Amino acid sequence: MIRTLPLTCSRCGKDFSAQDHLYYQDDFSVQSFKNIKLVCDECIHAWQEKWQIVHAEFHEHNYVLTVTITLKDGTVFENMDCTPIEDTESVITGEDIPPEAQHALYEYYVTFAQQREAQQLKDCFFTKGTEEVMFADITTNGGEHYEKLAFTIEEGYLKTAQEVPDYILEGLVTAYKSYLAQEEMLSTSTQPAAPRVTQRKAMPQSQWPSGGSYGENNYGAGSFGGGFGRNKKNPFGGF
Ligand SMILES: [Zn+2]
């Protein structure tokens, strides 16, 4: 049976003509060829024109990478899941974006990855102060240094005496957790002499408050909300 397929754009609804190729939208719900979602040249051009990225900000939390993209026309796509593909030097997002924009996005990603690498803690040494105060000597891969950074654990939250960036705080939490785990291993035979901090971490997890927001509880409207606050996660949970 011979049938005809009118060239009607699935986006703008206009009839169009084509020369050596057709654009169509990949759609797995399309079962029949006649339902194929054609896209006209004009809509393709408008799409390519629209996807001019002027800013992209990557964010990684719990191994999930997201990106917020700002386009030249002012459109903002917030926190899209994305996957960088090293081989093709592109970033794939939930949104259908032109290959040129995927490459442009990859440039932003490389900058982000380098910055993230520089922000990782290279060294972190702990010393005990009086009562529950601890001190940390921190150096990042990028050479940023904090000497004797005082901190305490208050109601399940790690609180530093001075303001530090989110990435320092996150690195410090991770480092201090492994420090405590190590301490626990070393002190299993000398339990009674364990300091209060060590006693606290031995509490069952249910005793650590988990409903609070990091930002709201400890830092007010300051710049420390970060990933912790938004996700209502206790950064010191998991003990
Ligand atoms: Zn169209």
Find the helix or strand (DSSP H, E) in which 65 lies. Answer: strand 64-71
Q: Are residues 64 and 151 in the same domain?
A: no
Q: Are residues 94 and 128 in the same domain?
A: no
pLDDT average, residue stretch 12-36: 92
* Within-domain flag for 235: no
What's the whole-model pTM score?
0.63
CA atoms within 13 A on the CB side of 121: 19
Altogether, the residues listed in the chain come to a count of 239
For residue 18, what is the DSSP state?
-
Q: Are residues 142 and 97 in the same domain?
A: no
pLDDT tens-digit map of 56-97: 999 988 889 999 999 999 999 999 999 999 999 999 998 889
- Say what the pLDDT of residue 211 is: 43
pLDDT average, residue stretch 216-222: 38
Looking at residue 150, its amino acid is A
Residue ranges near ligand 1 (ion) with Cβ within 5 Å: 9, 11-12, 40, 43
Q: Are residues 113 and 161 in the same domain?
A: no
Q: Are residues 204 and 143 in the same domain?
A: yes
Q: Are residues 148 and 136 in the same domain?
A: yes
Q: Are residues 124 and 217 in the same domain?
A: yes
pLDDT tens-digit map of 30-58: 888 889 999 999 999 999 999 999 999 99
Q: Compute the mean pLDDT over every residue in the chain, rounded to the nearest whole number.
A: 83
* Within-domain flag for 239: no
- Round to whole Å and give the CA distance between 50 and 171: 38
Q: Are residues 38 and 137 in the same domain?
A: no
* Within-domain flag for 238: no
Number of domains in the chain: 3
**Ligand 1 center to residue 15 CA distance, Å?**
8
Q: Are residues 137 and 213 in the same domain?
A: yes
The three-state secondary structure class of 81 is strand
Residue 199's domain comprises 120-230
Q: Is the dihedral of CA 222, 227, 230, 236 positive or negative?
A: negative
CA atoms within 13 A on the CB side of 78: 0
Q: Are residues 125 and 194 in the same domain?
A: yes
* Within-domain flag for 97: yes
* Within-domain flag for 112: yes
Q: Are residues 151 and 130 in the same domain?
A: yes
**Ligand 1 center to residue 10 CA distance, Å?**
7
**Ligand 1 center to residue 42 CA distance, Å?**
6
pLDDT tens-digit map of 188-208: 755 555 555 544 444 444 444
Q: Are residues 127 and 224 in the same domain?
A: yes
End residue of a domain, out of 66, 97, 118: 118
End residue of a domain, out of 86, 118, 150: 118
**Ligand 1 center to residue 70 CA distance, Å?**
24
